[in-house]
Structures are given as C-alpha cells and as structure tokens.
Amino acid sequence: MKTVSGGVTAAKGFTAGGIHCGVKAGSKAEKKDLAMILSERECAAAAAYTLNRVKAAPLYVTMEHLEDGVARGIIANSGNANACAPASHENAQRMCAAAAAATGLAPEDFVVASTGVIGQTLNVSAIEAGVPALAAALKKEGGSDDAAHAIMTTDTARKEYAVSLDIGGKTVTIGAIAKGSGMIHPNMGTMLCFITTDCAITHDLLQEALHAIVPRTFNRVTVDGDTSTNDMCVVLANGMAENPLIEWKDDGYTLFAQALHEVCGYMARRIAADGEGASRLVTCTVTDARSEEVAERLAKAVVGSSLVKAAMFGADANWGRVLCAMGYSKAPFRPEYVDVKFSSELGEILVCKDGAGVDFDEARAKAILSRDDVTIQVDLHEGESTVSCWGCDLTYDYVKINGDYRT
C-alpha cells in the first residue's frame, strides 16, 4: 500500500468539482460551497450515518436512493445543514434533481449531503442555479481539491487522502475527502466523508467493510461531545480497476478492508486535529486492556474530558484528570494497576505508576505536551487489547467560534 495524490479523483473513472453559488447570504465569492463527485460508471454504494435521533433531510433522501445499493455521484453543500428546516426533504430532493438534470442521470443516482447551520431554510434556488456550472467544472486534476474546499465550514484545512494497492494483479485506488471540525463526538460528529474507489467489490461486502471500520475510526473521534444531525460517510466503488470481483471474504477482501481502514483512520485523525479552535491533536492509547470494548470506553472518556482537554491546551501534565475520566467511564479496570505516560515527538515521560504519582521533570513534561501532536498512554496491565481514540485540546477559540456561529 502506498500514498498517492488525487483524493477522490485518484481512482479511475471519477471526477469532482467545487464552486461558489451563494448558499449562505453574505458569503464571500471565493468560498466554495457546492461540491460534486461523479463516476463514469454505476457504483456499488455503501453508507454510514449519524446515530443522532434527529437526522437532517439529506440523510433520509440518501437512504432512499441507496436502497438498491448503487449510485453514480454525490452532491453536497456547505453553509446550511438543511436540517430541522422548512421544506428540507423537498430541498434535498431538488438538489438531486438539479444534479441529475446537469449530468443526464436520474435523481436517484445521487447521494446528497449538507453541512452548516441547523434550522434555517436552505437557499436551494442558489444551488439549482449553480449546478450547471458545477457539472461543467468537474475534472480529474484538481477536482478533488475544489470539492474538499467546498464542503468546509469551520475547518481550517482541507482533508484529502488516497492510497493504492495491488489486488489480484491490478492496481486498486481508494481516495477520500472529508470535513469536520466541531460538533464532533463518537457515533459520527458533524463530519462528512466521501470515499471513492475503482475496486470491483459487491455492495454487500462494501457495506460490511465500511460498517466494521467506521466504529474503529470515525466513531473513536471526539472534539466537543456533540453528535451532529448531518454526519455521513459514503463509499462509491465503480470496479474500473478490473481486479477480480471481491464477492467473498478472501485475501482480496482483507487487503481492501485494510486499505479502507487506513483511509478512514487517516481522515479521522485529521478531523480530530482540526477541531474548532484546536492547537493540538490529542491521542489516548489504552493498552493491555481486558477487551477492546473496555479499552475504547476508557480512551473515549479521556479524550472527551473537558478537564483533560483544557490541561492539554495548557501543556499541563495533570495526570489525575486522566484517571478521573477513566473512573467515570463505567468501564471495568483496576486503578492500582494503571500506568500513565505523556509522549510526543520529543519523547515520553512517566507520570503515574500503579495508580499513583511518581516524581517527574515538570519542565520536560510541559515541553513534550507543547507539541502539535501529543499522546496519552495508558497501560492497564490486565489483558491484550489496545485501542486509540482521538481528540484535541480545548481552547479559548472554541468558545469564540461557537458563541456566535449562527449569527
């Protein structure tokens, strides 16, 4: 497996694009807000959605369109979530109809997604007016970059990635773009992730692979404890790599699933690192747990703790907050067995041994925790399971961003 350029257009048969159409009143013309991804051929399609009981209309329309397990493209807007708003279902359908009219396809061929402010009527007329130009702007080179920018909201950087690997003597490519910065919590936060691949794989196995991987990647991210109404992860597979069709859980499936996990894991970490107002990525890795479930629950509690996140912002080696978060996670473990270390590119430092504090160099600990990418290592000494979850620090800017997000 190797990293390649091109994002969602790295795989054969896919083009993408992004334009400004004015979804949000007063938005600057240079801010792209409408994206499309299109395949030359019909694709096997799989999706995972937010577990929030309140779901945005685009999710329901996408669910309807993917009942047959196939799709040709994706249309998505930023600037408005089209959730809990007047005519939201109708407007999601109108987006698909506009995409279909501009590409000569059927509305049911499209996945539809939206992200932005909840509760406000979508300016669907601006989208409909912009779709013909969007369709004309679809391209292989640079198209993924444009689409990635178009789905950004409070994101500070585009999120794009692609890998290639050999399956059955053919080069298979998987590419992705994503957005996500705030309203991010396990069970898919305000995130959209669109994945394309030229792998030949059945819908059933594509869906099974995605549903096995999402809980171990995107659902292990938390920024602020809020699970969004609009989260969606969609995979389109058009088969144009011409590898032997993956219709059984054979070696080809294993290789594909590993590559898909790599893509989703990378995007999950980028989303965590770009948390609203964040200054650093915080990983909690729990090792030697009695089960994966226990390790995950503990790691999520640690990276989700507001006090831990605040300590990470201050580069404060306050390991007591780590144990406190573990203690209220409701996961079974023996506190008297726990070791805690903080680490970064500068090295690691032991701060807790057998559930009790140890002497350590505060200045060195602060230096380690002042890097952009830090890890909280928790060793339970109780089993063989290891899990990592990802979050970020809690900064003043998070409050500033969300204090007036709607207005």
Positions marked catalytic? 190
The H or E element spanning position 102 is helix 88-103
Residue 340 CA to residue 41 CA, distance in Å, equals: 51
Strand partners, 16: 37, 139
Which own/partner contact pairs does 133-138 have at CB distance under 8 Å and 24+ positions apart? 133/19, 133/21, 134/17, 134/18, 134/19, 134/21, 134/34, 134/35, 134/36, 134/102, 135/17, 135/36, 135/38, 135/99, 135/102, 135/103, 137/17, 137/18, 137/19, 138/15, 138/16, 138/17, 138/36, 138/38
Give the helix ranges, DSSP H, for 274-318.
Answer: 292-304, 306-313
Tokens representing 87? 């005519």
- Closest among 179, 185, 177, 190 to 155, alpha carbons compared: 179
CA pair distance 180, 24, nearest whole angstrom: 18
Residue with the two structure tokens 């160099």: 361
Asked whether the CA dihedral 263, 34, 54, 205 is positive or negative, the reply is negative
Tell me the C-alpha distance between 38 and 112, whole Å: 12
User: With contact defined as beta carbons under 8 Å apart, do 20 and 126 qualify?
Assistant: no
Residues with Cβ within 8 Å of 320's Cβ and at least 6 positions away in sequence, in order, are 357
**Host H or E run for residue 204:** helix 203-213
Q: How long is the chain?
A: 407
Instruction: Give the residue carrying structure tokens 């390991």.
Output: 319
Environment class of 260 (CB within 10 Å of its CB; exposed 0-12, middle 13-18, buried 19+): buried
Per-residue tokens: 347: 């090295």
Structure tokens at 33: 């807000």
